[in-house]
């Protein structure tokens, strides 16, 4: 009788141990698998970006954080630079020569370039792709000098547009996005600018182009190849229910990693302006990673 009871207890004990092993196995596997899911990261990992605003295009704000706080905007500045050129150049196929004078500022400030050479001749249209895709300061300053005669005069025009759009937290002091005390905006203001700019058919095309090849030039017979910085580090643009269509990245020490972007989610377009994400130009591109996380919350 005692042996039978002992055997019964042993059987129950082993059954409980087996059940515990099975439960722990599936629990551990579930946790391991879930770490790769976007929605788990969204809930468990805070967005490092200090400022953002996410909204339906021409619609209501979905989510925001400190959208009116003054920030350094880095190369998101070039959204205004490109828009001003588009709106003030009558013929975008007009040819422009790259001046020698721009390269001193580019070298001193360590600005990103599109690979243009002194004396190279390109159209305004090609320069615009050089501004928006590789974020080329050489393309920006070439167009700026040709259109307005000086960066100072061009920037005055940028500020006039900002005022007209109601960008009350914004003041530009350069056309490239360099950190300067008098150069600032907010993610809310950049959203106003982006939404307005995307109403322009050519700007929309420019903003959503990921790669572009220029015509052959006098110094590059086969032309120049431009690749958007949004894909230059092989970051995925795929979302759970859609895809990021395009965007303008930015980085300076003061601004952190930034991204203004457009996405298609379930057949509808959404805009996101994110600033102040952790990392830099050599790390993982947390501006893109965190933009995906925010879009995936829709």
Which of 75, 123, 185, 261 is an active site residue?
Answer: 75
Is-contact 39 296, C-beta < 8 A?
A: yes
Which of 78, 185, 186, 261 is an active site residue?
Answer: 78
**In sequence order, what DSSP letters do the residues of 242-256 get, joined into one string?**
EEEEEEEEEEETTTE
Which of 55, 123, 135, 261 is an active site residue?
Answer: 135
Distance, in Å, from the CA atom of 79 to the CA atom of 197, rounded to the nearest integer, reads: 8
236 catalytically annotated: no
Distance, in Å, from the CA atom of 195 to the CA atom of 189, rounded to the nearest integer, reads: 10
Distance, in Å, from the CA atom of 209 to the CA atom of 280, rounded to the nearest integer, reads: 24
List the structure tokens of 254. 């003061």
Tell me: is residue 248 an annotated ligand-binding position. Answer: yes
75 catalytically annotated: yes
DSSP 201: H
Closest CA to 288 of 237, 254, 245, 252: 237
56 catalytically annotated: no
Distance, in Å, from the CA atom of 94 to the CA atom of 245, rounded to the nearest integer, reads: 28
Closest CA to 72 of 198, 250, 192: 250
Q: What 3-state DSSP class applies to 274?
A: strand
- Helices and strands (DSSP H and E) totals, the chain: 10, 10
Annotated binding site for substrate: 248
Annotated binding site: 248
Q: Which residues are designated catalytic?
A: 75, 78, 135
């Amino acid at each position: 009788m005692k042996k039978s009871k002992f055997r019964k207890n042993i059987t129950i004990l082993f059954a409980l141990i087996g059940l515990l092993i099975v439960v722990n196995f599936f629990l551990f596997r579930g946790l391991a698998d879930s770490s790769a899911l976007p929605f788990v990261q969204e809930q468990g990992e805070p967005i490092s970006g200090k400022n953002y605003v996410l909204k339906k295009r021409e619609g209501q704000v979905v989510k925001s954080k400190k959208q009116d706080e003054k920030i350094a905007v880095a190369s998101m500045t070039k959204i205004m630079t490109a828009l001003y050129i588009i709106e003030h150049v009558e013929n975008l196929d007009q040819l422009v020569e790259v001046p020698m004078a721009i390269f001193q500022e580019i070298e001193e400030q360590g600005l990103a370039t599109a690979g243009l050479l002194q004396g190279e001749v390109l159209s305004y249209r090609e320069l615009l792709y050089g501004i928006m895709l590789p974020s080329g300061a050489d393309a920006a300053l070439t167009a700026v000098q040709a259109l307005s005669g000086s960066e100072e005069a061009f920037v005055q025009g940028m500020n006039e547009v900002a005022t007209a759009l109601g960008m009350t937290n914004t003041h530009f002091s350069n056309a490239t996005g360099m950190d300067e005390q008098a150069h600032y905006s907010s993610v809310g203001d950049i959203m106003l600018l982006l939404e307005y700019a995307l109403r322009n058919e050519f700007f929309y095309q420019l903003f959503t182009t990921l790669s572009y090849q220029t015509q052959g030039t006098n110094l590059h017979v086969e032309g120049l190849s431009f690749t958007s910085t949004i894909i230059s580090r092989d970051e995925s643009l795929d979302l759970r229910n859609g895809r990021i269509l395009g965007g303008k990245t930015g980085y300076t020490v003061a601004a952190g990693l930034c991204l203004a972007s457009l996405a298609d989610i379930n057949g509808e377009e959404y805009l996101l302006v994110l600033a102040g994400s952790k990392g830099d130009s050599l790390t993982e591109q947390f501006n893109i990673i965190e933009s995906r996380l925010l879009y995936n919350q829709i």
